[in-house]
Structure 1
């Protein structure tokens, strides 16, 4: 082996390199399970786009405290983003860490349980039915606790550990804590646990931070260090910034949670600075990967990831300028949608253009009995088609954020329409992948 400078690492430090395949070994789940979760996420994205457009038309958008606003928010976070992410986690973890999922049957059962709980919870939010919110909220939380437990035990047993593993492992710990806060809120709304009312604002803010930043954010950071090298064929890059990004992110998250409960200026300063540094470290880590890529052309989905990272840096800077106190609802109304739609959702949408076509191709054409097939991944979906979706999404996020900040109704409406159209096109693109695969299967 060649000499490597101290402090330098390459992809081999995160486990043996695996070529761009999602189902190569016996550790991998049946590819249909992740696809099932992603299909649910696709349906939720399409429903979210329709409801968003409908709310803009009726003029009831951007009322987060209203039943329609709460239902729309959870349709995006639990219905679309969580479903996609769970499918991706089940599949990518087996490849990234060369591990087994300890309870595959449980994962199948949890899918149908999650579908039932999600439908009941969104419906209860829509009509604001407190008993339903309590029952289905706890039901959904129990299902997600099962998902967390399944993944945490599986991750704990693997030997391939590094910055990426720490990001993914702690993401599931943060999700479990966010669920605990959600259960407390649901029991409070159902008037079962009346003591929650005194701390409802702090618990809600903690729930949002741990779910959006602690779970989605940590997963995006962690899996980016596997997916971006895989899709750009990068190797031999310096991975030290990944470790910096992890420790900075961890410090930023928990100092911000502490600031919510103890609004001290020192905590505000620490959390704001470390959040900016964490996003910058992540952006530099991604840049280091791209500089060592073999595939010179940067495809549209990877450009979307870079755009989402840039929006994340802007979000962190906005947080540093005005770190929100838990009672500052105006600041939360600006920062929360910007963070979820600008960073989390745009990352998920961008990477989906690479993940879903490959999984569908693996499902239909990659088996040994398909060796005579000449169907390529590019036949199912051209990655360049992501450009319009990414552009409209970023444009919509920017307009909505500026509209909420400036109190401009027309900017909010125009931005919401851009988001609805972009997600509608995204849904059509992803649906076409399944349709084309089935048609080509019939032909072959």
Structure 2
């Protein structure tokens, strides 16, 4: 990536995302939302949307704006759209949350806050999809990892569309006999498109490139990557199209989800086998902390898939869906994002600070911007807390769940400090910290 232009607002996206993550964790520790309240109640919807939109989607958008141009060797279509997109996503989520709080009786506000917030979010995601979509379009035919991203962009369109419809129903704007059925049958489609398509499938595509780059491994196996992609889009197509048809009473949703789950397991198996091949073919024999933690996050994903299959077989999936969703959202997706941010933040900081003077003066390595031994304890606490919180949900121990999430919150704060230290060059030895010609980076904005 030497010579690649830096996305100016990447660190801003990450900072906003982490602020949302900490807010969600504090709310959970305080007993707000599931399991202290109904899993489909307004309080739980507040926490769910903070995690999925505020944290995961915002962080993913920031990463995509930086790395999609790397995936396809093309410049970003319109960087000037990225800051308005961040503003729209942040404002839209804030208004949407106010609508949920009004729905739950915590605020005395109008219910039209829900569709207004949803409209702002749709506008923000439209800018993201258009920007990244045009960047991908300019690079046809797409390489393997970029196909995952393209599929993820299609899925966020489906997710946002259903979210907009839900906001109309919950606000009372859409009135009719068919609308309550949309809330019952449409939520699984909304969740599948969001968690499965947008967040997980896109993360799989980006992780291919990041793992290969950071492990100094050759490109992944094209056949396994193609199988993972084809099986994945089959799972999404069956789940989404079948789910939409189920809304019109043309088929059963349970059978649709079962077929989608079978295809998803095949995609997961192919992806896991491909990642294992990258690991074995790597040139960097000693794995850095971010790569090791990414593999731990992948193990959480595998555990979630195995538990889901076991609960489906036992007929108890519905009663454990909250625990499984938490494991996917925190053990898998949040763990993966935090692990990659631990490398991305110092990597971008290094490029910004030392890239312009590299070759003219001595410069530190990217690894010199972090202290892995110190950060390891925060990752251990994070994953241990996430797994313990999942176990507490499985055994219906609400207080134990909140205590476990308190550990996760502490770990998140510790990792946030590590990111700030990397931006401040706090762990770089003084002789190399700011050589002649190098300028210290700003905390939240990168220089182009």
Query: Superposition RMSD on alpha carbons, in Å?
Result: 2.9
The 10-residue stretch of structure 1 (114-123 or 251-260) with the greater mean CA deviation from structure 2: 251-260
Q: What aligned pairs does 1:414-429 form with structure 2 within 5 A after superposition?
A: 414-429=403-418
> Structure 1 residue aligned with 2:367, among 364, 368, 378?
378
Task: Decide whether aligned partners of structure 1 residues 314 and 259 sit closer, same or farther in structure 2, where only a CA change above 3 A counts.
Answer: farther
**Correspondence for 1:188 among 164, 169, 178:** 169
SS at match of 1:209: helix
User: Could you say what secondary structure the match of 1:55 adopts?
Assistant: coil
Name the stretch that deviates more: 144-153 or 232-241. 232-241
Report the alpha carbon displacement of residue 165 of structure 1 after superposing the two structures with TM: 1.8
2:204 to 205, 221, 224: 221
Q: How does 1:262-411 map to 2 (within 5 A)?
A: 262-263=251-252, 266-323=255-312, 329-368=318-357, 371-372=360-361, 374-411=363-400
Query: For residues 162 and 412 of structure 1, do their structure 2 counterparts lie closer, same or farther at Cα, with a shift above 3 Å needed?
Result: same
Matched residue, 1:46: 22
Q: Secondary structure in 1 aligned to 2:233? A: helix
Query: Does 2:115 match 1:112?
Result: no
1:90 and 2:69 are equivalent in the alignment: no
Task: Quickly say closer, same or farther: Cα 1:269–1:207, change in 2 above 3 A.
Answer: closer
1:173 paired residue among 137, 140, 154: 154
Tell me, what secondary structure is at the counterpart of 2:285?
coil
What is the aligned partner in structure 1 of residue 137 from structure 2?
A: 156
- Greater alpha carbon shift after TM alignment, 42-51 vs 287-296: 42-51
Check 1:43–1:89 CA distance in 2 against 1; reply closer, same or farther (3 A cut).
same
CA distance in 1, matches of 2:102, 2:254: 40
The answer on whether the counterparts of 2:151 and 2:201 sit within 8 Å (CA) in structure 1 is yes
Partner of 2:8: 32
Whole-angstrom CA distance in 2 between matches of 1:126 and 1:428: 31
With normalisation by structure 2, the TM-score equals 0.84
Alignment of 1:8-87 (within 5 A): 21=1, 24-25=3-4, 28=5, 30-55=6-31, 61=36, 63-87=38-62
Distance in structure 2 (CA, Å) of the matches to 1:369 and 1:81: 34
Task: Output the CA distance in 1 between the equivalents of 2:266 and 2:115.
Answer: 39
Distance 2:132 2:339 in 1: 24
The 10-residue stretch of structure 1 (60-69 or 331-340) with the greater mean CA deviation from structure 2: 60-69
Contact 1:118 / 1:136 at 8 angstroms: preserved in 2?
Answer: yes
Task: Mark the runs of 5 or more structure 1 residues left unpaired by the alignment.
Answer: 1-20
Structure 1 residue 368: Cα displacement: 4.4
Measure, in 2, the Cα distance between the counterparts of 1:62 and 1:306.
33
How many pairs are equivalent? 417
Which consecutive residues of structure 2, in runs of 5 or more, have no partner in the other structure? 104-108, 441-448
Distance 1:443 1:173 in 2: 40
Q: Is 2:193 aligned against 1:210?
A: yes
- Take 1:400 and 1:433, find their aligned partners in 2: how far apart are those partners? 29
Partner of 1:102, secondary structure, is coil
Give TM-score, length-normalised by structure 1: 0.85
Q: Does 1:255 align with 2:238?
A: yes
